Structure 1
Amino acid sequence: MANLKNRIKNSITRLGKYRELAAKGYLFKLISAIFTDFLRLPFYLIPHKGVKVVEEDWDYLIILDACRFDTFKELNDIEGKLEKRRGLGSFTTEWGNKNFDGYYDDIVYVSGNPRVCDSMIKGFKGSEHFHDVIDVWDEGWDEELETVPPGKVTPAVLEVRKKYPDKRLIIHYMQPHCPFVIRTDLNKFLPLMENPDKSNIIRRKFLKFLASKSSEIRGLWKHTDNPWNAVKKEIIEIEEFREGHLENLRVVLKEVERLVENLDEKTIITSDHGELFGEFWMYGHPDGIRVKPLVEVPWFEVEMSKKVQ
């Protein structure tokens, strides 16, 4: 019943969005929003089953944000066993809400993603679910890249291990999600939010981060500073963005390999959701969509013999 209530509330919210877009004369945005929500309809009606990560056996759970199963399989060189699992969401907070519906005192969350933090973000507040949330993005934010490089997450994890030797750790790297850390030339297509009057640096960082996520919001493409709109207008090829994504994955996998060499208990590498590169006429990772490139994620158990004993 609660699930149905949430669906009704979401429908009312979207109806308001349609009216807003129509009033502003954004016909293309309106059509895109309706089309994407139309695709969501069958997923609302059909229960979605997938892996609930808290019920699985692991000591360290490494999250690669927006990592597809196929790209992980293509680029990963870490020794271990790879399985394909179905995730519970196509957007970080959706994934968080569906995986963590209780309080888990045995888990500490090391977060390079501001969507998992001590604040309430789209109905999910990390401190209400975990023993502690370590906001790596706070101190580890790179102003030039407008993201948290993977090299900032790893040392934080090693410090947290010392502080919480008896806790399970969830380790959330921001990559391969954009902004791009190698193909920085592509970041000019990512919208940034300027807030010169904001004195709170954390808020400023977070607002910029949210702006960089705007490409995900239900295909509402209009301006050329949106990467997917640039693709649609043939300003740039989709393969360039795919390559930027793959370069991000290569970088974060190297960092993860360095990390797992220092972990001495069962370690799983997975993803919160995948990424669309034009499949089903969509890009990014809109919430509520259950197509395979978004919900089929890697579930990789690192080989113990390759780790510190």
Structure 2
Amino acid sequence: MTTLNWGIMGLGNIAGSFATYFDQPDGQVYGAASRSLEKATAFTTKYGIPHAYGSYAEMLADPAIDIIYIATPHNFHFEGIMASLNAGKHVFSEKAITMNRHELAAAKALAAEKNLVLAEAMTIYHMPLFDEIEAQQKARQLGALKSIQVAFGSYKELDPTNRFFNPALAGGAMLDIGVYALAFARRMLTAKPELIATQWVPAESGVDQQSTLLLNNAHDEMVTVTLNLHAKMPKQGVLVYENGYVTVNDYPRPDQATLTLPDGQTETIQAGDATNAMNYEVHDFQETVRGHQPNHTLELTSDVMDIMTDARAQWGFVYPFEKPEDLK
């Protein structure tokens, strides 16, 4: 089987994690690019990657590279995605995949035109535990999903110069941590949800510091989402069924959950390995590139992006590099 060669665009902390944990028998991290050859060389030397590029354009021009992993700050994702697709490369982008639905629609259209695979690097869509929870729902006759409660709180200093609170760097809770909470909800819902109501508290810098969202779908599966970028909260999701509920802690990369039955008895549901989370998503992406499975997660990503865009539209929160019409 032909080895798929990956190139990394953007060399921050998440790129280092990707290079560290990448373990695919039919794929390899072939190269990494920065706007500085010195930085790219230091990165490739550290992680044992064979090729360094002093510009993104140089990497995209290399015919040996099949897939671009985009690990730049998310306000630069769209630029990197479009350049990569135009260069004939499949694209695996960190989350949030784009800033808004307008950008995502353009990226999806170009990927379809070029017959290339575009997907978001969202571990939640690939963790085996979620398939096992759905299997247990049927086997244990838990009944229909009624509601989901999901929270994510991360304590970050209220410093307007860092990426978390800087509008020029696309700061704010929604695109940084909200994408995880909404991806968890969307992964477990049986139909696309709509935003029913939302409220937010902006930071002094103008980005969203705290928010709540209420969602519902055609099957009356209701979702409450709570986000905070200046207060620690558990990364916890609760799936409420007719005949019990399932609690998933650390839901971005979980390998176990707790089922609580109506009589109060609890059981543990286990599947997969949290330490291998990144490789689950990389494996699935490669299988899609090879034509062995459909690109089933892009629809989920699109649904999440619609909700995030709708929420910011209701808040009236537009980044300085966006136009108001981008949120329509």
Range into which the TM-score falls when normalised by the shorter chain: 0.3 to 0.5
- The structure number with the bigger radius of gyration is 2
TM norm structure 1: 0.32
